[in-house]
Amino acid sequence: MNRPPNGVYYIKTPVELRAFINLLKKFRGYATTLITLYINAERPMPDVLNLLRSEWSTASNIKDKTTRTHVQDTLERIINNLKGEAKAPENGMAVFAGFHMINQGNYEWVYYVVVPPQPINTFKYICDTAFHTEILEDQLHAGVVYGIVVVERGEAVIALLKGGQWEVVKTVEFFVPGKHSAGGQSANRYKRQTEHLAEAFYKLVAEEVNKIFLQIPTLKGIIVGGPGPTKEDFLEEGGLDYRLKDKVLAVVPACCANEYGVTEAIRNAQEALKESEYVKAKEVMDRVMYYAVKKSDYLVYGRERALKALETGMAEVVVVAEELGEDAVLEVVMKAEEKGVKVEVVPRGVEESKTLIQAFGGYVAILSTPIWVFEQQMAQAAEAAQ
């Protein structure tokens, strides 16, 4: 795989981080020969190098020759790569290095330096048969979460929007009668009973919402949706915890208390959710579709043409579907890091991901110049190759 000149990958999104983690988990070393090194920004680089040199000396006592050779060789390479660094980046860095065992006696050198999207707060050196990705995985789990509550008469659904996906975590059902045709005192009595039942239902929903959302330390905001006045009635009468009321970002219309209602609530609250990965991915695909319809002479798609646009420096943005797998995502991320081109990865959980796969083969490049210039370069390259 291609690497940027300094060998350091700056991971910008959870999707890219997830792809890197899945890649790292594939490697296995002979005995405890794969080295994982987490360096926080505050750690002086001379201290790091001194520790690695000390570990190199200690490794000379390893009895097994292959293990000793692999560990010392790996440490030497890490030291040589890091000694030119003045300090770790602001978010720290994670080094994964060693000889991956393809089969007995057949090894492949592996070296990745990752700067994650959130700070590394610890310094850790580990020598094992596999790379340790737990700290990076913690960053995935600690990502921003949004709560979605859709309420209609007698039914409610509670969902969580995390990264590029959302999931329903609780449904609530409670009998609240509809309109009644009786007149006079019977009608008034029936109306009061219905109001009491509706209030009891809203309180039941609020209890579930409180129970779920208050346990999420990274909850950034809440969207409340529903048909008619039910959403406002829920907020007024439900008894939602004051800490959660302060996090309500938007109250929006939604058709019904089911998965369709959750999707509609998210769509109607896009402005409030503009920082979420899910909404950002939808905006990316909106841009792709705009170019496909209105400015098709500035767009190419399919793996071969999109990567060629990236390699020739004619791509302004490259869009790739996470659904293609981490190898495909990382191929684009690494090439883009080398060329300084922006990459957008569309998560699996976004509906438009299917459009990206089915209509564009999972790859799109938005060009900085008209497509005829790109075609001309492609033709010249083909002639030169003959």
Residue 313 three-state SS: coil
Chain region(s) in the chain for CATH 3.30.960.10: 8-141
Q: Is the dihedral of CA 286, 277, 260, 256 positive or negative?
A: negative
The reported pTM is 0.67
Q: Which helix (H) or strand (E) holds 340?
A: none
Q: Which CATH class is domain 145-274?
A: alpha beta
What percent of the chain is predicted at pLDDT more than 90?
58
Chain region(s) in the chain for CATH 3.30.420.60: 145-274
Helices (H), 25-82: 45-59, 65-82
Considering just the CA atoms, what is the radius of gyration of the chain in Å?
Answer: 27
Round to whole Å and give the CA distance between 347 and 349: 6
Residue-wise pLDDT for 237-254, tens only, equals 878 999 999 999 999 999
Q: How far, in Å, are 35, 91, 123 from residue 116 at the CA level?
A: 18, 7, 14
Residue 22 three-state SS: helix
Round to whole Å and give the CA distance between 239 and 32: 55
Position 2 scores a pLDDT of: 40
Residue-wise pLDDT for 9-47, tens only, equals 888 888 888 889 999 999 999 989 999 999 999 999 999
Chain region(s) in the chain for CATH 3.30.1330.30: 279-384
Position 92 scores a pLDDT of: 94
More confident site: 300 or 153: 300
Residue 103 three-state SS: strand
CATH number for the region 8-141 comes to 3.30.960.10
Q: Which of 91-100, 214-223, 340-349 has the lowest mean pLDDT?
A: 340-349
Nearest to 218 by CA among 272, 149, 163: 163
What six digits make up the tokens of 361? 């083969």
CATH number for the region 279-384 comes to 3.30.1330.30
Residue-wise pLDDT for 332-344, tens only, equals 988 888 888 889 9
Phi, psi dihedral angles at 374 (to 5 degrees)? -60, -45
